[in-house]
A and B are shown apart, each in its own frame.
Chain A
């Protein structure tokens, strides 16, 4: 197994819109190592979700190369990559348990095997006893945990997470972050995480890739060597937050100026 799980080289993406082409991503390169937690941090609309969608094989890049788990990413490959989105996207007509086994069901896994795996996963995300609940009967945080269990059920070594806690309230968001830290160590996954929250990035990541405003490029790559569990009030953490904030502030101001233009 290679130590590099995701290699992105000089990837570009331009969207055609009613008012002409808009360059979303321009020459992004990054590498994610096996079992690393790498966060892409950037202002809204900087193309970070597009980068993730291209790595997940959902959106074809216009240029550059993406190699995931040793093969070129052209279409979704659930054996290598599982994705979690800001909107959990649970199937409302399926119970929590049936949502979790959706992936194995697609792969044709026998019912008893996928049921056992799904029950175990629901328990590991702290939802034992909620197997037969429908998504509308669960809170936002619980729904996102079901979605994460559903992604884990694919058994892929890589997890792509696109602002998974972005729609949750502050407290739930922090608790979910702590919880994800635990899950990650247990499940030994490579995680590529997208967020616009500096706090979240510092709390969770091994490395942080800071992106510029549109068209998205890599502005900076920062290693985070704070010990777990992370206290965001230590001098090191505060200094890191200040550094990231000055970069993000610059880019957010540019993004706002673009919107007004």
Chain B
């Protein structure tokens, strides 16, 4: 409770200082917080600006698609590599190296391959979300407590049972962490994809109003996006903490 109060106080302070600084200055360059509600209303129904909800829907759909792909491919590849140790030893360093490359460099090739439509931003969101998930699976398998495996083996557990009843519950915390990072990065990927080149979505809208120098609308969109991302990530964080408590 005290934490929430302290955070709220900081937020209020930042907004107040922002307002004080921005008020006397050029409203196009320095958007005052008090102008944001009106800007947000203008985003909802103005003929010259794309309707907000439609684009929000497009962005959320793209994020869900990208994340679903990242989870499926990340888990599948991670467990395949876990089953075949040789494959893991051969390819894991490559995966880790690719993960270290700033992912924006792949974006132009995504556009070349998939065009300016939904596919390229989904592909980019997938690409970003995929790595932390597959690497979390590999880390989880590697960190498995060998003693628990011995105990399960001594009780006659098959390889399959060891996977389902020992390895996977044992790595649930690590896996949840990877899935959370993957979600955050999928969101970043989709938004970045929309900003860099697309014809729909919140990122596209940000680009649009920014190019028209409608800075209050731009800032309102940015704040909206930040709020959304924070909400999603804190929900994911709470889930992760629960899983971690469970697995001890």
Q: Mark A105-119, 1 if CB is under 8 A from B, else 0.
A: 111000000000000
In the assembled complex, A228 has its CB within 8 A of some CB on chain B: no
- The number of A-B residue pairs with CB atoms under 8 Å apart is 59
For A78, the chain B residues whose CB sits under 8 A away are 154-156
In the assembled complex, B165 has its CB within 8 A of some CB on chain A: yes
Residues A62-115 near B (CB distance < 8 A): 76-78, 81-83, 85, 87, 89, 91-94, 102-103, 105-107
For A103, the chain B residues whose CB sits under 8 A away are 155-156
In the assembled complex, B151 has its CB within 8 A of some CB on chain A: yes
Q: Do A56 and B169 have beta carbons less than 8 Å apart?
A: no
Interface of chain A, main secondary structure: loop
Q: Mark B142-180, 1 if CB is under 8 A from A, else 0.
A: 000101101111111110010001100110100000000
In the assembled complex, B248 has its CB within 8 A of some CB on chain A: yes
Tell me the bound Cα distance from A115 to B148 in angstroms: 22
Residues B110-159 near A (CB distance < 8 A): 145, 147-148, 150-158
Residues A26-78 near B (CB distance < 8 A): 56-58, 76-78
Tell me the bound Cα distance from A91 to B157 in angstroms: 14
With A91-B169, A92-B247, A93-B172: A85-B155 Cβ-Cβ less than 8 Å: no
Q: Do A135 and B248 have beta carbons less than 8 Å apart?
A: yes
Q: Do A134 and B155 have beta carbons less than 8 Å apart?
A: no
In the assembled complex, A243 has its CB within 8 A of some CB on chain B: no
Interface of chain B, main secondary structure: helix
In the assembled complex, B106 has its CB within 8 A of some CB on chain A: no
For A81, the chain B residues whose CB sits under 8 A away are 154
Closest to B161 in A: A106
In the assembled complex, B246 has its CB within 8 A of some CB on chain A: yes
Q: Do B155 and A154 have beta carbons less than 8 Å apart?
A: yes
Complex partner residue of A93 from B151, B158, B170, CB under 8 angstroms: B170
Q: Do A77 and B156 have beta carbons less than 8 Å apart?
A: yes
How big is the B interface, by class? 20 to 34
Q: Do A93 and B169 have beta carbons less than 8 Å apart?
A: yes
For A150, the chain B residues whose CB sits under 8 A away are 155
Q: Do A91 and B148 have beta carbons less than 8 Å apart?
A: yes
Q: Do A91 and B166 have beta carbons less than 8 Å apart?
A: yes
For B155, the chain A residues whose CB sits under 8 A away are 76, 78, 82, 102-103, 106, 150, 154
Q: Mark A133-168, 1 if CB is under 8 A from B, else 0.
A: 011100000000000001000100000000000000
Tell me the bound Cα distance from A87 to B154 in angstroms: 14
For B165, the chain A residues whose CB sits under 8 A away are 102, 105-106
Closest to B148 in A: A89
How big is the A interface, by class? 20 to 34
Q: Do B150 and A93 have beta carbons less than 8 Å apart?
A: no
For B154, the chain A residues whose CB sits under 8 A away are 56-58, 76, 78, 81-83
Interface centre among B150, B151, B158 (most CB of A within 10 A): B151
Tell me the bound Cα distance from A78 to B165 in angstroms: 17
Closest to A147 in B: B151
For B151, the chain A residues whose CB sits under 8 A away are 83, 85, 89
Complex partner residue of A87 from B147, B247, B248, CB under 8 angstroms: B147
Tell me the bound Cα distance from A123 to B224 in angstroms: 57
Closest to A105 in B: B165
Closest to A135 in B: B248
For B161, the chain A residues whose CB sits under 8 A away are 106
Shortest distance between the CB of B114 and any CB in chain A (Å): 41
Which residues of B are at the interface with A, using a C-beta cutoff of 8 A?
145, 147-148, 150-158, 161, 165-166, 169-170, 172, 246-248
- Please name 6 further chain A to chain B contacts, defined as beta carbons within 8 Å, in addition to the given A83-B151, A94-B169, A135-B248, sorted by A numbering: A78-B155, A91-B148, A92-B248, A93-B170, A106-B155, A154-B155
List 14 A-B residue pairs with CB atoms under 8 Å apart, sorted by A's residue number.
A58-B150, A76-B153, A81-B154, A83-B151, A85-B150, A87-B147, A89-B145, A91-B169, A93-B169, A103-B155, A105-B165, A106-B155, A106-B157, A154-B155
